[in-house]
Each structure stands twice: as C-alpha cells, then as structure tokens.
Amino acid sequence: MAKHETPMLDQLESGPWPSFVSDLKALAEKRAKNEEGIEFQIPTDVVDDILGVLELSYKHGRTHWKHGGIVGVFGYGGGVIGRYCDQPEMFPGVAHFHTMRVNQPGGKFYTTDYLRKLCDLWDFRGSGVLNMHGSTGDIIFLGTTTPQLEEIFYELTHNLHQDLGGSGSNLRTPSDCVGQARCEFACYDTQDLCYDLTQEYQDELHRPAFPYKFKFKFDGCPNCCVASIARSDLSFIGTWKDDIKIDQEAVQAYIGGELKPNAGAHSGRDWGPFDIQKEVIDLCPTDCMWMEGKELKIDNKECTRCMHCINVMPRALRIGDDRGITILAGAKAPILDGAQMGTLIVPFIKAEPPYTEIKENVIEPIWDWWMEEGKNRERLGELMKRQGLQKMIEILGVEPDPRMVQEPRSNPYIFWKEEEVPGGWKRDIKEFRKYHQR
C-alpha cells in the first residue's frame, strides 16, 4: 500500500515510455520490504515521500523544494548541493534531501562490481535514487541527510577511489568520450587529457572562485559524441591536418555490397543496395569527393571534418595521421537564455602529455580574463559576446584566422586598430578633397 495517493503521477505511467514513476514505486516497495536487511541510514520511506512531494507539486503547480544550502564536505565548495523540502511535516523522509555529484570514471567505463558498490553505498546511506548520468556527465546521488555526507565522502575516496565532482561556480566534472579505448576515430587520448586536467585543476574543481560554472568536454573526433561543441565552455575536439586515408579496395567492397555501410548499424530494414554517389558523395557538405573511374578522390583541403563519409565507410576511409585538437570556446546550453555553440579559437594544437601548451597558452589565460572581467553568473560565451572575439584573441595572443569566422557577414569580430593601420585614422583632408567631392 503506497504511503501517499498519487493519481497524477500514476497517469504518467500510462504512456509508452519507461516511467520514472514506476521505478520510484518499485524502489519504495523494495525499501519497505528490505529483504536484504540493509541498515538504512536515512528514513526508509524517503522514496514514498519523493512521490508524495512531487504529486503535491503537480497539484499546486509550484515546487516544494527550497533553493540551495550551506552543506558540504570539509574543504570542498562543490559536489554537494543542499536540498530541503518546504513541507517537512508532511514529507519527513525528504526534509533533507541533498544531492551529491560524484566524478564519473573516464569514458564512463564501469565494471559491474564497481556499479554494485556504488549502488550498495547509496542504498545504505542515501535514498537509493541515482541519476546516471547528469547532463554534466557525473554520477548523481539524489537525496541524503547532512550527517551522511562526510561518511559517503570517506567511503568514496578511500574505498571506491572516486572523488566528488564539481558544482556551483566551479570547474565542473570534466567529461570525455570513450576515445582511443574503443574507437578508431579518436584523434587523441581523450581519457588521458581529461584525467590530466582533472588532476591539474583540483583547486578549480573543488573551491569555487569563478563567476559561474565552467565546463571542459573532450571529444576524440568531430562526431562529437559528448556534444562538447554545444555544451562546454572549452570544447576539445580531435582532428587531423593531413589527408583522409583511402583504401580503394575497401571502397569497391562497399560498392559491391561485401561490406555493410555504417558497419551494419542501419540493418533494421532493407534500404536497397548501397549507392556511394547518393549516400556519400552527394551528401558531402563541401562537395569535395568524387569518383574517377573506380577510384574515390577527396580534395582534402576542402574537407570540414563532417565525418559522414568515414562513418559510412569506416573500413575504406580513415582519419589522417597528423592528429591533434581543435579548441572551441563559449558554448552553453541553458534552459532560460538560449543555447550558444562554441566558437573556434585554436584551429589545431598537438595533444601530447604533459599538455603544457594547452594549459598555459589556452586554459589559464582564458580563466584569468573571465575571472577578472566576467560578471556574476556570466558564462564565458556571454563574456565573449559582450567584449568581442577580438578581445579573446588578444588574451590568447593568437592571430585572427578565417576559420574563426562562423560564416561570412555573421560574426565580423575583427576590426583594425589605429596603431595597426599605416598613418592611423588621421588624414590630410585637403588632399582627400582633391579626389572626393563633398
């Protein structure tokens, strides 16, 4: 028997999709029965009360969670978010319902044993409700009480060898794709760079002194599986400078049907025989591919790394050998004030440990600028818009590059300064009038 009546939540279960309401009900029942004999450290009926408070919010059309809190673990200004219910008498199980953000493993690789340990810890000391993963990428533990925070932190850091992630005005938990561990498209070791920067910038991750949140994301190739280009203040995307490698025999094997396009990923229905002209060449956004007899040709200098041809024919086309990273800055995906894509700031940089050039010439100058000039709650992308890309280029000490322009006439960021122009802005007006009437 459910603790609270939840007619509106019940309705959500009637849709075609898996329902979080069903999951919560199942967990509430599991906790009530407690067949495993867990010594729950927070109220057993916490999940019943989540359902109750949510139903009440639907009824009132308002939230019953208060805003933020002062709780945390010692020395950390992030990783814990105080959450309190404003109806504690009605829902005592969620009177304190703090969130903990836990740094996810690189590429989100887990063993089942490790996942079990995380779940056991959270069943024991928290609500058992997890979010795998939050949009920043980290593991989200939803709902515990203040006395449990240090206990969980100790267990995480000493036995599970994992740290809390970032929250608030911090560097957020850096997040990466599986990279070279599983993917032949990866142009650099995303996990190594992600781990290196996580370790290097511990102070920025745990002790908030930024104007607002700041996110790093690492994509091994321009397929952008972690969507760094859209969601991170600094986006690291793998790329190459030389030519796409072509295996002409494999191209013929695709044309002849011996190899399945997209490695067979679209085999759910019959799409007819593979047509290289229609499915690859005509879809190239820069028209840089063509067939010459039986040979596939690519005008590599026109390639914009859209990855389509490589995705369709992975056995025939491979990324180049001169690999590195393209860095974009200023993306954000907020709910309130319009999304913004990243702007290219570094066309190509080598990604080799210890990544000194990336740290000293890109990350740190940007942070210094944003920390000094950024307004409270202003993301890097907004500062770039407010002060202009030109300012950003000055901060980085790089030359303006046509690749920084998104498209002609849309972001004319680069202006001449007086000292850059021979003779400056002053002119001899009499000399000018000789040739130009009023």
Partner 1 sequence: MALDYEESKQKIIEGLKKKLKTKSKFYFNDLSKILGAKPREAKKIVNRMVEEGLLEYWSSGSTSMYGLPGTGKQAAAEHED
In the complex, the smallest distance separating the C-beta of residue 143 from partner 1, rounded to whole angstroms, is 14
Beta strands per DSSP E along 76-176 = 80-81, 99-102, 129-132, 139-142, 175-176
Are 291 and 297 a contacting pair, CB within 8 Å? Answer: yes
Interacting residues with partner 1 between 109 and 128 (CB under 8 A): none
User: Should residue 78 be labelled a site residue for partner 1 when binding is judged by CB under 8 A?
Assistant: yes
User: Should residue 215 be labelled a site residue for partner 1 when binding is judged by CB under 8 A?
Assistant: no
H/E stretch holding 292 reads strand 289-292
The stretch among 14-22, 115-123, 205-213, 230-238 that binds partner 1 (CB under 8 A) is 205-213
User: Should residue 75 be labelled a site residue for partner 1 when binding is judged by CB under 8 A?
Assistant: yes
Q: Is 304 exposed, middle or buried (0-12, 13-18, 19+ CB in 10 A)?
A: exposed
The packing angle between helices 46-60 and 20-33, to 10°, is 140
Backbone angles phi, psi at 324, to 5 degrees: -170, -150
Interacting residues with partner 1 between 327 and 386 (CB under 8 A): 368, 371-372, 376-377
User: Should residue 207 be labelled a site residue for partner 1 when binding is judged by CB under 8 A?
Assistant: yes
**Residue number, 203 or 360, with CB nearest to partner 1:** 203
Q: Which position has the token pair 């919560």?
A: 24
Are 87 and 166 a contacting pair, CB within 8 Å? Answer: no
Dihedral (Cα; 257, 259, 261, 262), 10-degree rounding? 170
The stretch among 66-74, 264-272, 305-313, 395-403 that binds partner 1 (CB under 8 A) is 66-74
The stretch among 47-55, 69-77, 296-304, 416-424 that binds partner 1 (CB under 8 A) is 69-77
Backbone angles phi, psi at 239, to 5 degrees: -155, 180
In the complex, the smallest distance separating the C-beta of residue 340 from partner 1, rounded to whole angstroms, is 17
- How far apart CA 107 and CA 198 sit, in angstroms, is 13
The stretch among 81-89, 176-184, 241-249, 396-404 that binds partner 1 (CB under 8 A) is 81-89
User: Should residue 171 be labelled a site residue for partner 1 when binding is judged by CB under 8 A?
Assistant: no
**Residue number, 104 or 326, with CB nearest to partner 1:** 104
Query: Which residues sit at the interface with partner 1, rule CB under 8 A?
Result: 66-72, 75, 77-78, 80-82, 84, 96, 99, 146, 167-170, 203, 207-213, 368, 371-372, 376-377
